[in-house]
Amino acid sequence: MKSIVILISGRGSNMEAIVRARIPGVRIAAVIANRPGASGLVFAQANGIDTRVVDHTAYADRVSFDDALAECIDAHAPDLVVLAGFMRVLTDGFVRRYEGRLLNIHPSLLPAFPGLHTHRRAIEAGVKVHGATVHFVTAELDDGPIVVQAAVPVRADDDEATLAARVLAREHLIYPQAVRWFAEDRLVIDGKGRVSVRGGCSDEVSAWIVPALDAPTGEAS
């Protein structure tokens, strides 16, 4: 059994997707938010998951916040820490502490569009394909070994909201998949920072390229 802690800042829909996936061999030890009002905490509590708040505004600097956060995480002794819409830049010390067991999801096809406002920037750049990436976290912002990506088309009439919704539906597919592979001990990072899935996986699973595979909800994209 692998124990995981999920960190959120707000809505927590990716956390919810991971919880709902009921991944065999995975126990969600806690959901921790850096904002007391993070609405995702309500879902976690309603599902009997231990919830904690480490409010970043109560700490003088990043290091003291990250230390408090690490203490809260370590109390649950997780095998994996999952950043799910956790909107804080983490210190190098924090990232090193969880090296190889810290995953993040970012709403772009990294290395394109690290940082904020990815959907707006994708539309402004005129890219035709956009998406999301699950990756191991390194000290660089929105960087690190890529586990899985999902691509969606950018349509001519898209605005930030429509594109974000299309990407989010794919996020909810790829994050539970990445956690499942981790729980199965199948993720291997090579010397060049590339990830492979031990035992292989089908193309449909390793990359959801629209329109090759649609979300199970049948959402039209």
Q: Which is nearer to ligand GAR, 10 or 196 (CB)?
A: 10
Give catalytic status of residue 56 as yes or no: no
Residues that bind ligand GAR (CB under 6 A): 8, 10-14, 84-85, 105-107, 132, 142, 168, 171
Helix or strand (DSSP H, E) at 187: strand 187-189
| Number of Cα atoms under 13 Å in the Cβ half of residue 139 | 5
Minimum distance between the CB of residue 122 and ligand GAR, rounded to whole angstroms?
A: 13
Residue 129, phi then psi, degrees to nearest 5: -130, 135
Q: Which is nearer to ligand GAR, 11 or 52 (CB)?
A: 11
Task: Supply the DSSP symbol for 2.
Answer: E
Which of the residues 56, 106, 119, 172 is marked catalytic?
A: 106
Q: Which is nearer to ligand GAR, 158 or 171 (CB)?
A: 171
List the one residue out of 90, 189, 208 whose CA is nearest residue 81.
Answer: 90
Q: Closest residue (Cβ) to ligand GAR?
A: 85
Minimum distance between the CB of residue 121 and ligand GAR, rounded to whole angstroms?
A: 12
- The β-bridge partners of 80 are 4
Helix or strand (DSSP H, E) at 43: helix 40-46
3-state SS, residue 33? strand
Q: Which is nearer to ligand GAR, 66 or 171 (CB)?
A: 171
Minimum distance between the CB of residue 6 and ligand GAR, rounded to whole angstroms?
A: 10
Q: How far is CA 34 from the centre of its chain?
A: 16
Minimum distance between the CB of residue 4 and ligand GAR, rounded to whole angstroms?
A: 15
Q: Which residues are tagged catalytic?
A: 106
